[in-house]
Structure 1
Amino acid sequence: MPATKFGLPAAFLQASATADVTHGLDRIRTELQVPDSFPPEVLAAAERAAAAPRLPDLDRTDLELLTIDPPGSKDLDQALHIAARPDGGFTVSYAIADVAAFVSPGDPVDLEAHRRGETFYGPDARSPLHPPVLSEGAASLLPGQERPALLWTVQLDARGRTTDAEVVRARVRSREQLTYEQAQDDIDHPGAGGTRPTLALLAVVGPLREQRERERGGVSLQIPEQEVVPAATGGYDLTYRALLPVEGWNAQISLLTGMAAAHLMIYARVGIVRTMPPATNASLRRLHVVARALGIRWPAELDYPEFVRSLDASRPAEAAMLNACTVLFRGAGYAAFDGSVPEDAEHAAIASDYSHVTAPLRRLVDRYAGEVCVALCAGTPVPAWVREALPGLPAEMARADQAAHRYERAVVDWVEACVLERRVGETFTGTVVEVEPEKHRGTVVIKDPAVEARVQGDGLPLGHEVQVRLTSADPEAGKVTFEAVV
């Protein structure tokens, strides 16, 4: 299933402020119990915290940090600076918003964050983990503002391998906020002054880290994202968006930091890591069968990660293969430990120990993992409030992850049904990405509009284009159905 992304509230509200849209999204939020406005006591506590942050003594506002995020983002968790070293290596400075500089254990903001677990994203609004006065204001790494941060410094050799990593509390000031498109354009088409130094080095370090990922046996699925976008005539539409190279390179910096954090915590035997079980032999055998059905050659000497990297999502059969590969990326969770590291602590897709530490404004667990790492690097005891919370965090985050995924999927299903409601009876061209012969059905991806849906029919040709007729579209149920045209 393609990843789903939502645009920014202002853009959607301006393009589609209709009663039907408001009713539909409100209904979904009510049914799924998506957190709405913050209680007055939480807002009041957040206002007080925003006015009196705990600023660290260390001043690193000299670092020319920049942020790279989707257009219009305000909850900026990370700011980046990369410098080349005389020995051919690199120094990566990665500033992470310091939520603990504002939120105290057991205060109203903290308790509400535990209730929510993470930020919930919708096309017309987001339901943030923390009140906006913090997440989009005082704690966000907005450009030109002095902010408390957890500042990671990761040393890489000339091949992009980590040689040292530490994190400290520091005051920082981001210089500039860029979108992915702006960053990519600066790299591809530098102006008279040349590409921004950090971006020029990101274009070097990013591919180096991707190569290290290949050597580890890790893999990232580059599947086009299914986006909900404002329609020109009002309402919503759906499209697919290919990821830009800079998005992958930027993600590698986050992965680099998460791996460094996990190594610190596992060495000290206290912390929380993100986990994913390895693929089973049965699931790999199934993928080989799918590849043969799609007519894709999978040489015996080519391991799974290299095979995935050889696929081109612009080709229908290979896009179907990438879709099938998502089955190996299920089962992610968290493992907390204090004194004994669990055996299944590795993240199979990353092929390394890994922890979430780079998005504390949007994800509860990152604040706790960051606090563990700061204490370990400072040689001080891990705070008692962190140790006390660790055992319960995996269950809290699992609940939040499931709720957020249900909400995101429900919104996309609803938009698909709305987009197609008046087109029942029409015939579309789509690619078959999954077949369930025993149920006489499969899954088809239609390019325009960008819809993925069930299709009834026998003998569906996996990885091939077919003609399908829309038989129903029910926005209330969030369901569309197609049948194969014989």
Structure 2
Amino acid sequence: MASMVIRTGRADLDFSGIRAEFGLPSEFPAAVLAEAEQAVGRDVAVGQREDATALPLVTIDPPGAKDLDQAVLVERVGRGFRVHYAIADLGVFVVPDGALDAEVRRRGQTLYLPDGNVPLHPTVLSEGAASLLPSQTRPAVLWTFECGAGGEPVDVRVRRAMVRSTAQFDYDSVQAAFDAGTPHPSIEALADFGRLRRERATERGAVELRLPEQEIVPNGDGDWKLVVRPRVDVDAWNAEISLLTGMSAAKIMLDAKVGVLRTLPDADDTAVDALRRSASALGVPWPDGVTPARLLAGLDPARPESLALFVDATRLLRGAGYTAFDGEIPPVTTHAGVAAPYTHVTAPLRRLVDRFATEVCLAVTAGQDVPQWLRRALPLLPGVMGGSDAVAGRVDRACLDQVEAWVLADRVGQVFDAVVLRADGNGADVFVAQPPVMGRCVGADLPEGERIRARLTVADPERRKVAFARVDA
């Protein structure tokens, strides 16, 4: 699916109304900024910290990103692989129970709006002293995975280090280099390793839903454009490194019986049976013995029936949360989407829980007691992160709804090609490819997975609402 861009044609539109509606903070308190400035001047190289600045690590992030959490190096070692994964070390900048710690616990995570972020940490840290910017020596938590020929780790190490990223890349440029046969030496082995890890994920039963991802980006003239960016192979390969790290961290914490997991209960038989019925109705063959993960992995995301089945498959991934534990293994330890125990440790600049989970792993692997301040914080994290995730989801949806309404405001009455994603008794959710919007559609015959013609009946920027009605064939 190619990228699709539609301009709003307006230069006076911003997202201040959404910021006000959700009460998003516009600045940090003075005490928090002062503490962050003090942290920048702290000697972060003190203590038992490995010098890993000779490793030719690189970063892969969206274009223009400055809050760089991860840097990676993938090497072939015999028939296997060695993966170095450096994660920004926020633990050396945030004083437990200080003003900065209290503020980031209140925020939970960075919120991304088209006209500017609401950062978790002051930008002097998140885009400066703590960010793994190229050609800058930075403190990091360095994970090293020794993996066999099948991509599974046989040895995992984690420790504090000083690192120095050698280059900053974005996903599209890395994909273009792979396509041209000229990948950067530091990630030349990423393709083979990423494919192996993807295959292991499918074997485990990991569920990946390749739905169109709408993005809002500036067009350079002060207004906005809607884009559907196809997920390139590099996205999936790079994500596998993060997933490997999160699974390894979860194992460390479960072995020690202390930590915080990202959990999602396994789908029950009712959800799987419903998905089978949807596949049958959509004409998607489901051979005996094929798992939902294997079926979904084999679908062509460009086909309308695939889009509809991906939407239906969201029923397999309900009930995600965070589970803290200390001294006793919780009843649910796995994440059904990953098909393994999993935790967040790879984005501490942007997500609160990652710093705490990382500190548990560092203490456990060093043979040290988990600090009391950390044990006190663990039970609070599920509530903080659950609330923060909910706000982030609502803000993302509000921004998309707003731009969709802006884009279509002068096109009410026009007819568009659409794909029916999910139908119910009151209509259906549909995806319109040009411009890339999702909305509700009413009509007498709305079979999931079919292409239809739909007339735009509502495009209201004030209510952030878009609606369609099926045009009779």
- TM-score when normalising by structure 1: 0.93
1:387-416 Cα shifts (integer Å, max 9, x gaps) = 110001001000000000000000000111
- Unpaired stretches in structure 2, ≥5 consecutive residues: 2-6
Tell me if structure 2 keeps the 8 A contact 1:153–1:167: yes
Question: Residue 69 of structure 2 aligns with which residue?
Answer: 77
CA distance in 2, matches of 1:196, 1:231: 29
Q: Does 1:300 align with 2:288?
A: yes
Contact 2:202–2:297 (CA under 8 A) maintained in structure 1: no
1:64 is aligned to: 56
2: CA distance, partners of 1:150 / 1:445: 41
Are 2:451 and 1:458 equivalent residues in the alignment?
A: no
Cα pair distance change 1:211/1:376, threshold 3 Å: same
**1:166 equivalent in alignment to 2:161:** no
The answer for the alignment partner of 1:355 in structure 2 is: 343
Q: CA deviation at 1:166?
A: 1.7
Measure how far apart 1:35 and its partner are: 2.5
Structure 2 residue 34 is the aligned partner of structure 1 residue 48: no
Give CA-to-partner distance per residue, 1:160-214, whole Å, 9 cap, x none. Answer: 11111121011111111001112112222145xxx32222111111111111112
Residue 34 of structure 1, CA deviation: 1.9
Percent of residue pairs identical: 47
The counterpart of 1:230, out of the listed 215, 218, 243, is 218
**Counterpart residue number, 1:18:** 11
Deviation, 1:120, is: 0.2
Distance in 2, matches of 1:257 and 1:17, equals 43
Counterpart CA distance in 1 for 2:220 and 2:325 is 51
- Name the aligned partner's letter for residue 208 of structure 1: L
Answer yes or no: is 1:403 the counterpart of 2:391.
yes
* Secondary structure at the counterpart of residue 62 of structure 1: coil
**Aligned residue pairs, count:** 466
Q: Is the 8 A contact 1:53 1:101 kept in 2?
A: no
Distance 1:196 1:416 in 2: 38
Match of 1:8 in 2: none
Determine helix, strand or coil for the equivalent of 1:423: coil
Deviations 1:262-290 (A, max 9, x none): 00000000000100111121111111121
Q: Is 1:261 paired with 2:249?
A: yes
| 1:95 and 2:83 aligned | no
Q: 1:324-372, CA deviations, whole angstroms, 9 ceiling, x for partnerless residues? A: 2122222211100000011111101111000100000000000000000
Aligned counterparts of 2:222 and 2:37: Cα–Cα separation in 1: 36
Cα distance in 2 between the residues matched to 1:185 and 1:80:
18
RMSD between aligned residues: 1.8
Distance in 1, Cα, partners of 2:24 & 2:288: 47
Structure 2 contact 203–294 (Cα < 8 Å) conserved: no
Change (3 A) 1:112 1:233: closer
AA aligned opposite 1:33: G
Aligned-residue offset at 1:234: 5.2
Unaligned runs of 5+ in 1: 3-11
3-state SS of paired residue (1:61): coil
8 A contact 2:207–2:336 mirrored in 1: no
Instruction: Please state how far the C-alpha of 1:232 moved relative to its aligned partner.
Output: 7.2
Contact 1:239 1:447 in 2 (8 A): no
C-alpha separation in 2, matches of 1:78 and 1:228: 24
Output the amino acid matched with 1:282. Answer: T
Q: What displacement does 1:259 show?
A: 0.4
Matched, 1:218 2:198: no
TM-score, normalised with respect to structure 2: 0.95
Write out aligned runs for 1:368-407 (5 A).
Answer: 368-407=356-395
Give a deviation string over 1:394-439, Cα, whole Å, max 9, x none: 0100000000000000000011111111111111110111110x22
CA distance in 2, matches of 1:172, 1:71: 22
Q: Assess if the C-alpha contact under 8 Å between 2:87 and 2:142 holds in 1.
A: yes
